[in-house]
Amino acid sequence: MDLFSKIEETAFYVKQKVKTKPRVGIVLGSGLGGLVEIVEGKATIAYSSIPNFPVSTVKGHSGELVFGKIGDTDVVLMAGRFHYYEGYNMQEVTFPIRVMKALGVEILILSNAAGGTNPEFAVGDLMIIKDHINLVPEHPLRGPNDERLGPRFPDMSEAYDHALIAIAEKIAAENNITVRTGVYVGLQGPSFETPAEYRFLNRIGGDAVGMSTVPEVIVARHGGMRVFAISVICNIGFREIAATTTHEEVLDAAAVAAPKMATLVTGLAKQQR
């Protein structure tokens, strides 16, 4: 079965299970699973029951699609995402984004846990992604292009929607939440970076680094969705004396920042109905 048919089949299955028509899609990053609580009137579908969906394995991810409302906005939320380092290919990693699009999602909000490569950042900071650098070795659009899904050569000049960024900055200011903006570098992981690599990423213009988001953003833009993405800075990888990085520390830092993240994501979703 080709990709387009798989997407149609999966969307058909999901539409039979839930009657809502989500306009906003949300992807939760590592340690941010608690944000599922911002959705009201939840109806969930486990990934394991969805045809053509890969199954999530990473600690801190539960693996379900959550449908419901944020304010008056119908949303679908991915609790748990698929990472390239888990062994999935790029088509699998980005498949749920295609399905969201097929369900009618026009605005995609992504969150992630990231390492800071900007020495001015601190653990717990939120960083709105204004642009990215793609250093993931496999491209999600490699192979024959299906024009029904998007153009062969999608434009990436405004991958991160300026209007959504402005709204998020306003919500942050109104709620006394300090947000940074910066460039996210996507790498494959799963090892964290060496001090020399963090330094390199800083020098090429990166403010944060992580193992997700970039492929999903590319596919969302291919499909014409508007994208907003935000990182929690969970560790700082650019210091005179390098500190070690652990997955636990990343999850802890993300959990601490989760309430601020919830305020921003809720505010953004509410304005998009």
Which residues in 219-248 contact ligand HPA (CB under 6 A)? 234-235, 237, 245
Question: Is 255 a residue that touches ligand HPA (CB under 6 A)?
Answer: no
Least CB distance to ligand HPA at residue 114 (A): 5
The H or E element that residue 254 is part of is helix 247-270
Question: Is 193 a residue that touches ligand HPA (CB under 6 A)?
Answer: yes
Q: Name the catalytic one among 9, 43, 62, 85.
A: 85
Which residues in 67-96 contact ligand HPA (CB under 6 A)? none
Site string for ligand HPA, 14-53 (x = CB under 6 A): ----------------------------------------
Q: Name the catalytic one among 61, 84, 193, 220.
A: 61
Contact 94, 43 (CB under 8 A): no
Q: Name the catalytic one among 11, 56, 86, 258.
A: 86
Residues 6+ apart with CB under 8 A from 144: none
Q: Which of 214, 227, 271 is nearest to 108 (CA)?
A: 227
Is residue 212 annotated as a catalytic residue, yes or no? yes
Determine the residue with CB nearest ligand HPA: 115
The nearer residue to ligand HPA, 41 or 137, going by C-beta atoms, is 137
Contact 266, 149 (CB under 8 A): no
The two beta strands, 73-79 and 64-70, are antiparallel
The nearer residue to ligand HPA, 182 or 210, going by C-beta atoms, is 210
Q: How far apart are CA 243 and CA 264, in angstroms?
A: 30
Is residue 43 annotated as a catalytic residue, yes or no? no
Q: Which of 263, 237, 265 is nearest to 249 (CA)?
A: 237
Angle 90-102/3-17 helices, nearest 10 degrees?
50
Report the alpha-carbon angle 181-185-190, nearest 5.
Answer: 130
Q: Name the catalytic one among 113, 114, 172, 229.
A: 113
Active-site residue numbers? 30, 61, 83, 85-86, 113, 211-212, 235, 247
Residues that bind ligand HPA (CB under 6 A): 113-115, 189, 192-193, 209-211, 234-235, 237, 245, 250
